[in-house]
Each structure stands twice: as structure tokens, then as C-alpha cells.
Amino acid sequence: MAKDNYSKMRSFMAKHAPEKLSVKDLKEDSEARYEQKTKEDARLLELYNQKKLTNKNTIRKAKAIADKYNK
């Protein structure tokens, strides 16, 4: 049973895996995503500190980011 589940999992991963990239490409991609996320967080925090946010969900997200960086 476990072997069957393992083979199903492997076939699913092979089917849904991203295109095969080198480790260097994956590292560059992850660094670019991290940089983009950091920029978005900084922009949200700046707007939150200036009290320019009006959407409640955005305010909650900005508070969560502020709490994350304040710890």
C-alpha cells in the first residue's frame, strides 16, 4: 500500500513539477521572489505608517507584517 502511494506521489510530482532548471536558476528565482516580497512589504509598511490604507484586509496584512518585523 505504501509503495503504491509513493509511486502515485512521484508521478503527481513529475507531472506537476516546474520545468527542469539548474540549481543556479532556482536560486536566482528564489532571490528575485524574496526581493519582490520585501519591496511589497516595505511599501505596505510605509503606507500603513502614513495612515493611507483604507481597505481593512490590507490594514490587517500590514499589521501582520509590522508584527513580524517587530519581533
Classify residue 48: in a domain, yes or no.
Answer: yes
Where in the sequence is the domain holding 60, given as residue range(s)?
20-70
Tell me, yes or no, whether 53 lies in a domain: yes
Is the pTM higher than 0.95? The answer reads no
pLDDT tens digits, one per residue of 13-60: 777 666 666 778 778 888 998 999 999 999 999 999 999 989 999 999
User: Concatenated DSSP letters for 2-63?
Assistant: HHHHHHHHHHHHHHHPPPP--HHHHHHHHHHHHHHHHHHHHHHHHHHHTT----HHHHHHHH
Q: Is residue 34 part of a domain?
A: yes
Domain-embedded: residue 1: no
Within-domain flag for 31: yes
**Count of structural domains within the chain:** 1
**Domain-embedded: residue 12:** no
Per-residue pLDDT, 68: 85
pLDDT at 2: 59
Q: Specify if 35 maps to a domain.
A: yes
